[in-house]
Amino acid sequence: MISIVKVDSSAIPTIRSLAHATWAVAYKDILLQPQMDYMLEMMYSEAALHQQIEQGLQ
């Protein structure tokens, strides 16, 4: 069963961990590592996630 829940900043480490683990598998054949690193940093850095949570975009 899938549950969607609103999170707060305490979930940021888990979100970052999941993003890094899943992107490495999902995009390894279509993105170069520097591109993947850039995109992960842009969307899943602590600062970006804090902003998204504050704006309600998580």
Claim: this prediction has a pTM higher than 0.75: yes
Looking at the predicted structure, is the pLDDT value of residue 58 above 60?
no
Taking residues 51-57, report their average pLDDT: 85
Q: What angle do CA 21, 43, 45 make, to 5 degrees?
A: 75
Residues 9-46 have pLDDT tens digits of 999 999 999 999 999 999 999 999 999 999 999 999 99
Tell the residue number behind the tokens 């949570």, with chain if given.
Answer: 53
Residue 12: which residues within 8 A CB-CB, separation 6 or more? 46, 49, 50, 53
**Separation CA 47–CA 12 (nearest Å):** 10
Check residue 57 and give its pLDDT: 61
**What residue ranges do the domains of the chain occupy?**
10-55
Of these ranges, 4-8, 25-29, 51-55, the one predicted with the greatest mean pLDDT is 25-29
